[in-house]
Each structure stands twice: as C-alpha cells, then as structure tokens.
Amino acid sequence: MDRRHDLEVILRSRTPIIIIESREEARMLEMLQSITISGASLNYQPLFRWTVTDGLQRLDIALEPQPLNSEPTDVLKHIRAVSKPGIYVLLDFHPFLENPLHIRLLKDICIRYREIPRQIVLISHTVKLPDELESFSARFDMALPSEDERRKIVQSVADEWVREHPGSRVQADSKAYELLIRNLAGLTFSDTTHLARNAIYLDGAITRSDLPGVMQAKYELLNSGGALQFEYETAGFGDVGGLTRLKQWLTQRKAVFRGDASAAHLDSPKGILLLGIQGCGKSLAAKATAGIFGVPLLRLDFGAIYDKYHGETERKLRESLSTADVMSPCVLWIDEIEKGIAGRGGETGTTQRVLGTFLTWLAEKKSHVFVVATANDITALPPELVRKGRFDEIFFVDLPDNNIRASIVAIHLTSREQEVRNFDVEALAKATQGFSGAEIEQAVVAAFYAAHSKKEALETRHILNEIELTRPLSIVMHEQIEALRQWADGRTVPCD
C-alpha cells in the first residue's frame, strides 16, 4: 500500500513523464488502474495502454484497442493532438526513444502539459531517457516484497494447492518454511509466486529438500549478466588438509554470520583475503567456507565483467554485487582477485573505477555476504585493498608440512575408494616435501593411470615413481615463492 501511495503522489505531482523500470508489467497496470478508478471525480483522468502489437486501448472502461495507433509515431502524434487530460502507459517503448522525431513529439507533449495534462508512463525492464527529456521526468521504483508480503504469497500458493487437492493440506517443516521465506527475498512478486509454487506443488509440502532448487532458480533469475557462477553443493573442511587456524577462525564466526540471536550484539564478519602459493588449497578453502557456514557459494569471474564499452564494466560489477546482496546469506568467492583489479594494460582507468566500486560495496554492504578473495601475486594488489579494515583478516596459505602432506595423501586416496592402510603414507609424505596440495593430488592421479595401464592395483611404488618424475613449483619458481613467504611473514596470519 505504501508503494501504491507513492505512485499516486507522483501521478498527482504534474510530472509529464513517469518512468517505471519493472518486469512486472501486469502488476503495474493493475496498480495504475486501481489508482485511476479510485481517484476523486474532479481529478479523474482516463487511463490508456499502448503496445506496438495492439495499439492504443482505454483501460479504465472496456473499449476495444485502436490498431491504427500501433505505430510509435502515430500514437505520439495522437496524444499530442488530444485536447483532454489523460494518462498514457506506453509499454516497451524504450527501443523507440532514440528516434529524433519521437523525442520532439514527447517534448511537445511535455511543454504543453500545463495547458493539457497528458501524462506519459513508460514501463519497461529498462528505460534510458534522452537528455532532452530528463528535466520533464520522474522515476518510480517498485519495492520488492517484504517479509510479511512473502509470507502472504507463500500462504496464497498453499491455499491454491489445497483448493486443487480437496481434503489435503500442505505439510510444512517450520524451519524449512522460515528458510524459504528468507531465501525468497530480493525477487519480484511474480518470481516469488513462481518459486513458491515450484516448492509446494512438487509434493504438497515445504521441506529442506526444496531449498537447493529454490536457490538455484533464484540465482538463474538474478544472474542475467553471466559474471557469477553458482554452486549450492559446497565442500566440507574434511576435504581440506591442514588450514587448522583458518578452520578455527571460521567456526568461531559461523553463528554470528548465520544471525544467531545470542550473537546479535556482534557485527557480522565481512570476509577474508587468502594469499599464498598456487595449488596449496586457497580455492578449496573458499568452497569449504561456504560449506562450514551452510550457505550457497557464488564465484565472481572478473574476466566476464570487463567490457570494451565505456561504463559497461562497472555496471556489470554493480549488478553482480547486487545479485550477491540479494542471494545473502552466501559466500562470494573472488578467485585470483589481482587479475581483476591490477593494471590491465591501457585499461588502468577502468580498473581504478572497478576497484573503487568494489571497495565502496565492501565498506557499505549491510547484507550477509561473506567475501573470500584469493590471490597468488601480492605485488599486483593495490595497497587500498590490503590495508587493515578492508577484510576481517588476511591469511597466508603456505606449502604443507609433513603431517599435512600425509593427511592430503590420505584424503585423495580415500576419495578414490582406496584403503589408506594399504599405503605407506609416511613415506609418501616425506617424498613430497616442497609439494603443494594440488601437486600431491596430481601425483596420485598420475599413479592411477600408470597402474591401470599395467593392469595393476594401485600401490605406494606407483605414487613414489610419479613423485620422482615431478618438479614442484617450489623448485621451479623458488625465488618468487621465497619472496612471497618473506613478505607474508609478520604481515599475515598463517593458516596453520
């Protein structure tokens, strides 16, 4: 009702052009009809709708469309020639706003508004008004459903299901019901109704098994730009060898991030920056963070954000961050962040704006979005990003020690259905000194291929042979890795 009142105020403010960017066309028309019909008789104005397919049609009373006015130029000339007040809703008119003739016709209507109040309402998913018309316009933003409104939508869908299945009732798990209400936040009325119907109509119940599908569908509705990748099924920290201190740090903050009432006095954690050597588990730690928090994981691809057109890169980033806000609570994983905000040749102006947009969002965000940014090259990161306060903590992921290497070997053998007790794990751990977790995994995988080619069961000797053939990154890039270790010493928190 508040948004209806706001729209009514704008309509009565004598603004010639009203812009409504919304995909809920039917709902907006219904609201305009309601405002028009309930208006006082002295201020009553007829309401018209125009589409390029049906032409002009009066909505406040039942009249047939006028196909003769289906052309954009014709309808604007018709509106300009009308000598009586009226509200004209032009649907999907945005492609025709670049025509100089249409701009002039609209301007004529606006200039003569005080003589004859003919109001233009432009409804489309996006409207870019020419500069000449901006001073004659006002914008109306349709609020998304509140928590109470989402409850009413879910209840109406449940009532609808009961009417179609007499004698039955919708079974609802109370916890799953509350999570469904929360997870539907950020969607339009029609999308909220659609996803609620998907959850209920499948089996006539609201259960936790419905939530992954709801979140997947919600993400697909929101992520039109393609810069975000969604993964509901995330890793657990049992899949990660080592990182003991990081695991403890995240576990301590889980309840606060999930909104536990007992921790209401504490600020929700913002995020962490993971620096370290390639292949040592930074990406897996990001996935496991979402797993330990029990929330969806979004991965931001900076490569998909950059665009050759001026301003498009920043717009895509803002849309991606807005999507993450709407998907909250979630973990936003930015892999190799230095590649997105370090200098990109001649695009330094764009990268500076991208950095500014990201830092502003990071500082001002109120949503429960936990950021996990990973980086390999600290020298490429701007000082504005790594200073204290940007992230809650900066962790350094080093090469695994002997005990951690043994656990990594065991993890990869177990995940491939091998009995760990049949292998000399200690010998393998000792032989992989200087190896990253990824290099250890690759040695196990290569050993599987070697054993299979000889039609033999995998044994310790197969893995040792592959280790012997491998030159780890710690040897190939010794100087760079040592420089990174020296920089991290005293500036970051070790993960182990």
What residues contact residue 192 under an 8 Å CB cut-off, 6+ apart?
A: 145, 150, 153, 184
Whether 496 maps to a domain, the answer reads no
Residues 383 and 407 in one domain: no
d(CA 99, CA 252): 59
Tokens of 296: 């969806």
Of the candidates 436, 462, 416, which has an alpha carbon nearest to the alpha carbon of residue 376?
Answer: 436
Residue where a domain terminates, one of 397, 425, 440: 397
Whether 232 maps to a domain, the answer reads no
Residues 17 and 114 in one domain: yes
d(CA 182, CA 205): 17
Residues 339 and 377 in one domain: yes
d(CA 12, CA 87): 11
At residue 129, the 3 state secondary structure works out as coil
Whether 381 and 337 have beta carbons less than 8 Å apart is answered as: yes
Q: What is the pLDDT of residues 417-438, one digit of tens each?
A: 899 999 999 999 999 999 988 8
Whether 307 maps to a domain, the answer reads yes
- Its domain, for residue 296, covers 237-397
Whether 227 maps to a domain, the answer reads no
Q: CATH number, domain at 87? A: 3.40.50.300
Whether 340 and 334 have beta carbons less than 8 Å apart is answered as: yes
DSSP letter string, 209-244: GGHHHHHHHHHHHH--SS-EEEESS---GGGS-S-H
Residues 391 and 436 in one domain: no
Is the pLDDT at 40 greater than 80? The verdict is no
Residues 371 and 413 in one domain: no
Tokens of 277: 């050597």
How does residue 77 score in pLDDT terms, banded at 50, 70 and 90? very high
**Mean pLDDT on 66-88:** 89
pTM of the model: 0.68
Whether 490 maps to a domain, the answer reads no
Cα angle for residues 407, 413, 419 (degrees, 5° grid) = 105
Q: Which residues of 71-107 are buried (b: 16+ CB within 10 A; e: fewer)?
A: ebeebbebbeeeeeebbbbbbbbbebbeeeebbebbb
Is residue 109 exposed (0-12), middle (13-18) or buried (19+ Cβ within 10 Å)?
buried
Q: Where in 66-108 does DSSP place strands (E)?
A: 86-91
Phi, psi angle pair for 87, to nearest 5° = -110, 125
Q: What is the pLDDT of residues 288-318, one digit of tens each?
A: 888 888 888 888 877 777 765 556 778 778 8
Residues 290 and 407 in one domain: no
Q: Mean pLDDT of all residues in the chain?
A: 84
Q: CATH number, domain at 429? A: 1.10.8.60
Of the candidates 319, 328, 340, 342, which has an alpha carbon nearest to the alpha carbon of residue 371?
Answer: 328
Q: Where in 335-455 does DSSP place strands (E)?
A: 369-375, 393-397
Q: Which residues of 223-256 are buried (b: 16+ CB within 10 A; e: fewer)?
A: bebebbebbbebbebebbbbbeebbebbeebbeb
Q: What is the pLDDT of residues 429-487, one digit of tens each?
A: 999 999 988 899 999 999 999 999 989 999 999 999 999 998 888 888 888 888 888 88
In the chain, how many domains are there?
4
Residues 28 and 109 in one domain: yes
To the nearest whole percent, how much of the chain has pLDDT over 70?
91
Q: How many helices (H) and strands (E) does the chain have?
A: 22, 15
Whether 60 maps to a domain, the answer reads yes
Residues 213 and 361 in one domain: no
Tokens of 412: 């990869």
Whether 329 and 257 have beta carbons less than 8 Å apart is answered as: yes
Is residue 277 exposed (0-12), middle (13-18) or buried (19+ Cβ within 10 Å)?
buried
d(CA 209, CA 207): 5
Q: What is the pLDDT of residues 176-209, one digit of tens each?
A: 888 888 888 878 888 888 888 888 988 888 888 8
pLDDT of residue 487: 82
Q: How far is CA 392 from CA 270, 322, 336, in A?
A: 6, 21, 18
Whether 124 maps to a domain, the answer reads yes
Residues 60 and 136 in one domain: yes
Residues 83 and 119 in one domain: yes
**Omega before residue 383 within 30° of 0, cis:** no
DSSP letter string, 410-439: HHHHHHTT--GGGS-HHHHHHHTTT--HHH
Is the C-alpha dihedral spanning 201, 204, 206, 208 positive or negative? negative
In the numeric block, the tokens 């209401």 are attached to 264
Residue where a domain terminates, one of 197, 222, 247: 222
Residues 257 and 132 in one domain: no
Residue where a domain terminates, one of 343, 377, 397: 397
Task: Give the number of C-alpha atoms closer than 13 A to the C-alpha of residue 104, restricted to the C-beta side.
Answer: 4
Looking at 54-68, 93-107, 393-407, which range is the least confident one? 54-68
